[in-house]
């Protein structure tokens, strides 16, 4: 397999296997795989198909536009979208059979206006339980569920679900949020709502807090084979990273000791050595903050970036290793194969693996392997 100049290779079989494994662990009746932000940089349509093959029965996205893209590609599985443009009228969502996450009374009324008794709007009401992002505040919840029930009785709207999202601040904070959620569920039932999907857990809680699982878990990061925990690796969870980020060596030069490397000369060679040019830069989403630190693997050897990450490229000091133009450079992939992981890049850039994979773009090509490819 020859590497492309700059490429993210996505192993769709890994996504399928991860989802199957996660379903076994959580044991919930339903599992949603979250494919927002181009499936965290992995390719939304391809990963949606791979996730469904692994037993996901729901897909989750932030924006309705992302849901409509899935529909346009022929994906008919249930989809929930939960973060809306204030001007969104939900007409396209209802026409496309996309469930609408509702975080305000205004959104509830807009969704009802987009539904008809023949084609009702399917909504899932989001209650704010402590993350301080969106969701109907607990103080307004009783009024909101009463209004939702009223609208449901007219036939224009169906409340399919009630959901929230956790902070992962600590198990105690998450349990407190779950208690708020359960009170909200009781209030919804008291006005006659019968939501078939109650959900609050994303990857971290789904894996670590069984009482958060309810009817459905929303799996993002873990489905792509990355661990939401610092202390527990993906391999320990039985998950395999789906993405390998790699490129080809674009140039090789032998230089004397005390040669300055890349902008600002933040790196100078200690001895005569070989410098290798890697054609991925911050335009591709390689964090400039990982300058001097980001790890790569060339022919099974581990190196670090020498000096600054530039827009199009960075340099690696390989010492006396024999490296040629065209050789494969792996930035990250499955650590079980001996290459750095996305977590190593997250450490190098003081961030989380979510950001490392999701920010990739620019001139990077994505290619796919596996049965769903």
Which helix (H) or strand (E) segment holds residue 61: the answer is strand 58-61
Give yes or no: 126 in active site. Answer: no
Give 58's strand partners.
32
Task: Give helix 105-114 / helix 138-154 axis angle, nearest 10°.
Answer: 10
**Sheet strands (E) in 229-346:** 243-248, 251-255, 260-261, 267-268, 273-278, 295-298, 301-306, 314-319, 328-332
- Rank residues 199 and 308 by Cβ distance to ligand PLP and give the closer one: 199
Q: Which is nearer to ligand PLP, 121 or 222 (CB)?
A: 222
Q: 101: part of which helix (H) or strand (E)?
A: strand 99-102
b/e string for 257-272 if b means 16 or more Cβ within 10 A? eebebbeeeebebeee
| Residue tagged active-site, from 40, 126, 224, 263 | 263
Q: How far is the CB of 108 from ligand PLP (least distance, A)?
A: 18
Residue with tokens 């662990």: 25
Contact in structure between 35 and 67 (CB atoms under 8 Å): no
Minimum CB separation of residue 106 from ligand PLP in Å reads: 19
- Which residue, 67 or 222, has its beta carbon nearer to ligand PLP? 222
Catalytic residue among 36, 40, 267, 282: 36
State which residue, 38 or 203, has the beta carbon closest to ligand PLP.
203
Nearer Cβ to ligand PLP, position 34 or 156?
34
**Nearest-approach distance from CB 224 to ligand PLP, in angstroms:** 8
Which residues are near ligand PLP by CB under 6 A?
Answer: 34, 36, 82, 165, 202-204, 218-222, 228
Q: What is the largest CA-CA distance in the chain?
A: 80
CB of 180 vs ligand PLP, minimal distance in Å: 16
How far is residue 309's CA from residue 290's CA, in Å, rounded to a whole number?
7
Answer whether 42's CB lies under 8 Å from 15's CB: yes
The answer to whether 263 is a known catalytic residue is yes
Taking phi over 0 as left and psi of -120 to 50 as alpha, with beta for the rest, 225 belongs to left
DSSP letter, residue 2 = P
Q: Which is nearer to ligand PLP, 121 or 204 (CB)?
A: 204
Q: Interhelix angle for 64-72 vs 44-53, to 10°? A: 70
Q: Which residues are catalytic?
A: 36, 263
């Amino acid at each position: 397999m020859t590497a492309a100049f700059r490429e993210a290779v996505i192993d769709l079989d890994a996504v399928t296997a991860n989802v199957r494994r996660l379903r076994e662990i959580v044991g919930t009746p339903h599992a949603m795989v979250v494919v927002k932000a181009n499936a965290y940089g992995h390719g939304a349509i391809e990963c949606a198909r791979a996730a469904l093959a692994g037993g996901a029965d729901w897909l989750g996205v932030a924006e309705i536009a992302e849901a409509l893209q899935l529909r346009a590609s022929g994906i008919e599985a249930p989809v929930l979208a939960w973060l809306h443009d204030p001007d969104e009228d939900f007409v396209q969502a209802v026409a496309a059979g996309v469930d609408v996450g509702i975080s305000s009374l205004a959104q509830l009324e807009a969704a009802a206006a987009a539904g008809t008794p023949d084609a009702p709007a399917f909504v899932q009401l989001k209650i704010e339980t402590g993350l301080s992002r969106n969701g109907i505040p607990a103080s307004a919840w009783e009024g909101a569920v009463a209004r939702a029930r009223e609208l449901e009785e007219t036939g224009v709207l169906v409340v399919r679900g009630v959901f929230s999202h956790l902070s992962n601040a600590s198990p105690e904070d998450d349990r407190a949020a779950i208690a708020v959620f359960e009170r909200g569920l009781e209030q919804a039932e008291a006005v006659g709502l019968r939501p078939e999907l109650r959900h609050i857990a994303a990857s971290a809680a789904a894996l670590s807090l069984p009482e958060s699982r309810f009817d459905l878990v929303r799996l993002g990061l873990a489905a792509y084979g990355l661990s939401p925990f610092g202390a527990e690796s993906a391999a320990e969870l039985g998950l395999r990273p789906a993405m390998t980020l790699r490129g080809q060596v674009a140039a090789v030069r032998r230089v004397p000791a005390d040669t300055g490397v890349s902008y600002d000369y933040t790196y100078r060679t200690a001895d005569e050595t070989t410098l290798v040019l890697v054609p991925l830069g911050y335009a591709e989403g390689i964090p400039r903050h990982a300058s001097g630190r980001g790890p790569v693997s060339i022919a099974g050897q581990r190196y670090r970036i020498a000096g600054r990450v530039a827009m199009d490229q960075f340099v690696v000091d390989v010492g006396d290793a024999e490296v040629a133009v065209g050789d494969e450079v792996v930035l990250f992939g499955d650590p079980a194969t001996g290459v750095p992981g996305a977590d190593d890049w997250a450490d190098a850039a003081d961030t989380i693996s979510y950001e490392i994979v999701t920010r990739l773009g620019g001139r990077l090509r994505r290619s796919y392997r596996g049965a769903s490819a």
